[in-house]
Amino acid sequence: MTVTPTALDVHRLLDEAFAGVEMCPERQDLKEEIRANLVARVGELLDAGHSPAVAARQAMTELGDLRPLLDTAPAAGTPSTHAEWERHRVRPTPGYLVRTVLSAALGVTGLVLLALAVAGTAVPPGWSLVAVAAVAIAAGAGTADALRQETSTNYPMPAARAGAYGAAVALVLAGLGAGWSYRTNEDLPWLVGGALAVVTAVALFAYLGGTQTNRHKPWLLRLMADHRDGADRFTRDPATAARFGLYTATIWLVAIAAFAVLSFTVGWVWSWLALLGGAVVMLVLLARMQFGHHHPA
């Protein structure tokens, strides 16, 4: 392949710009990307009537200072994120995979039974409740089991705490299933029991979230520290994250209470607006706390 004088000018000027820079695969990739952009820009300038030498120098001048770009690429000898991930990678155990498949099969079976009941297919009496229990137990057990596993980024959660998270998930689903049973049978104890289950789950989630400690492994903490400037506010300020968890729990407690009151007074036609309002308030709160203006202490 013949190398044109224009290409030689681009290569020479780019080599001069990278002179003294310690190279690594990431910086070499950056250099090649800049080279391709320069060649494309030089072609545009040649079409505009500039000479090859002038076009090459003008393209380099337009590129500006390369130091900010070089600072974003890791220096030689610095392990990349992918290399760190591969070095600390933890594969799931066969037993965990088997348990996950069994839990998923149980949950899917329950969902199929519920779908048949909703579609009006004849389902034996009591099987709908069995289906709700199957879905809740499968989701709760799967959650607890997942949190008990060591991953590439996190240490395993203690059994009691993982079980509490699983119980909270199961209570939420069981409460929703009880609410569905009330809607189909209009049996008041199902509504009361479902509301209590959901409220208990929300309180449990709030407690677990407010008392959660770090599970991240040291290599991930180092990586997060290297990218702290781009982290979200919850990552940089755990206290704000804890407050958001408590605020969220309060919002949903009020929304669920309003949902129950409206269900008894004005009926199902309007009671769902309480839950919609809770979701809207929570999203607004999230936007304010995550992206709102705040001043350092």
Q: pLDDT by residue (tens digit) across 51-92? A: 888 888 888 888 777 666 665 555 544 555 666 667 778 888
In a domain, 281, yes or no: yes
**Tens digits of per-residue pLDDT, 210-234?**
888 778 777 777 766 665 544 456 6
Q: 267 is in which domain, residue-wise?
A: 227-297
Residues 145 and 166 in one domain: yes
Rounded CA gap, 200 and 133, in Å? 17
Domain identity same for 138 and 184: yes
* Greatest C-alpha distance within the chain: 87
pLDDT band for 2, please (50, 70, 90 cuts).
very low
- Structural domain contains residue 112: yes
Domain boundary among 170, 189, 214: 214
Q: 201 with 240, same domain?
A: no
Q: What is the C-alpha separation between 217 and 238, in angstroms, rounded?
A: 17
Orientation angle between helical segments 127-147 and 94-118, nearest 10 degrees: 150
Task: Return the amino acid letter for 164.
Answer: A
Q: How many domains does the chain have?
A: 3
Burial class (CB in 10 A: 0-12, 13-18, 19+), 291: exposed
Identify whether 221 is part of a domain.
no
pLDDT grade for 16, boundaries at 50, 70 and 90: confident
Output 50 or 235, whichever has higher pLDDT. Answer: 50
Mean predicted lDDT score pLDDT of the chain: 78
pLDDT at 235: 61
Q: 222 in a domain, yes or no?
A: no
Residue 267 and residue 203 in one domain? no
Q: Please, which residues bridge with residue 216 across strands?
A: 154
pLDDT (0 to 100) of residue 13: 78
Domain end point (choices 214, 242, 276): 214
104 Cβ partners below 8 Å, 6+ apart? 138, 142
219 assigned to some structural domain: no
* Residue 71 sits in the same domain as residue 140: no
